[in-house]
Amino acid sequence: MRSPGPLKQKILKKWMMGLQRCKKNMSILERKRAIKLSADVAMASLRNDAAYWSRVLIAKAVNEANNKKIVQKVFTIRTAACNKRIIRSKKILKRARRRRKRTAQASSITKGLVRKRRRILKSLIPGGEFMNGVTLIEETLDYIISLRAQFDVMESLARFSENQSQ
């Protein structure tokens, strides 16, 4: 069991590690990108690959060449494995996409609504397009919790630094 205090400390620490590798004198947008990326990677790395979305997030981050320094500073990544998994999942998804036509009934209308929302949810969560229904919901849960933790850490840091600068 992890108490939230040390967890957030870990997020903070990894985040700082990632940021230390950044070059100086970046523009504000670059900085924002670096901050966000580093925070995301820190959050994802703490999941220890227990959640699918974390691996996807990191794989995507690594794929952009600019980010390599930051990401590698945070921890070592199995990029090849992640990419392979993504490719495989895409193939499976394409195969699974063919479905029959359905008649217009009340139940099918609600199902259509739900399906539409599921699609939106899939687009939101990193790596969500490759998950089936059950996994999607579990990953959402996981992602929401991690996002909240990340948000809390960033918020407290922001508040603190604003206090300091005043």
Partner 1 sequence: MESNPGTTETRSNLTASDGGQVTAFESLQFTDEIHRLILAPTTINASSFTALVELPPPQAVELLHSPDSTKFIAAKPPNVEDFKGSFRFPSNTSLIEPDARFSVFSGEANNGNENRDSPVSKILNSNLEKAVKSEPAETESAQPLVSDPPVEKRRIKRKGRENKVKGSTKKSKTAVNESSEDAEKLPYVHVRARRGQATDSHSLAERARREKINARMKFLQELVPGCNKISGTALVLDEIINHVQSLQRQVEFLSMRLAAVNPRIDFNLDSVFTSESGSLMDSNFPGLVMPVMWPEVQGDGHRQQYQHQWNSDALQQPVWGREVHNNYITPEKSLLTYDSSANSVTLQANQLKMEL
Least CB distance from residue 31 to partner 1, whole Å?
4
Tokens 């945070």, residue located? 74
**Degrees (nearest 5) of the Cα angle 145, 67, 70?**
70
Looking at residue 146, its amino acid is: S
Tokens 């508040």, residue located? 159
Tokens 């895409």, residue located? 90
Least CB distance from residue 142 to partner 1, whole Å?
5
Longest Cα–Cα distance of the chain, Å, equals 64
For residues 13 and 91, which CB has a smaller minimum distance to partner 1 in the complex?
Answer: 13
What is the Cα–Cα distance from 12 to 43, expressed in whole angstroms? Answer: 9
For residues 130 and 143, which CB has a smaller minimum distance to partner 1 in the complex?
Answer: 143
Looking at residue 104, its amino acid is: A
For residues 88 and 151, which CB has a smaller minimum distance to partner 1 in the complex?
Answer: 151
Least CB distance from residue 76 to partner 1, whole Å?
17
Least CB distance from residue 102 to partner 1, whole Å?
15
3-state secondary structure of 50: coil
For residues 52 and 62, which CB has a smaller minimum distance to partner 1 in the complex?
Answer: 52
